[in-house]
Structure 1
Amino acid sequence: MTDALVELHQLTVNFDDRPVVDHVDLRVQRGDIITIIGPNGAGKTTLIKAILGIQPVSDGTLTIAPRLTIGYVPQHLTLETTLPLSVKRFMLLSGRSHQECVEALTKTGVEHLLDASVHRLSGGEKQRLLLARALARRPDLLVLDEPAQGVDINGQASLYELIR
Structure 2
Amino acid sequence: MIHLNIPPLYKRKSDILSLVDVYLTMLCEHYGLKKQIMPESLKIMESYRWPGNVRELKNIIEFLVISTSVPFITHRDLPEHIRDNWKLEIPQESFRDEKSDNNLLSTNNLNLKEAMAQFESQMILNALQSSQSLRKAAIKLYIDHAILIRRMKRLGIQFSYKR
Alignment TM class, shorter chain as reference: under 0.3
TM-score (norm 2): 0.26
TM-score (norm 1): 0.26
Which one has a bigger Cα radius of gyration?
A: 2
Structure (1 or 2) with the greater helix fraction: 2
Compare relative contact order (CA 8 Å, sep 6+) and give the higher one, 1 or 2: 1
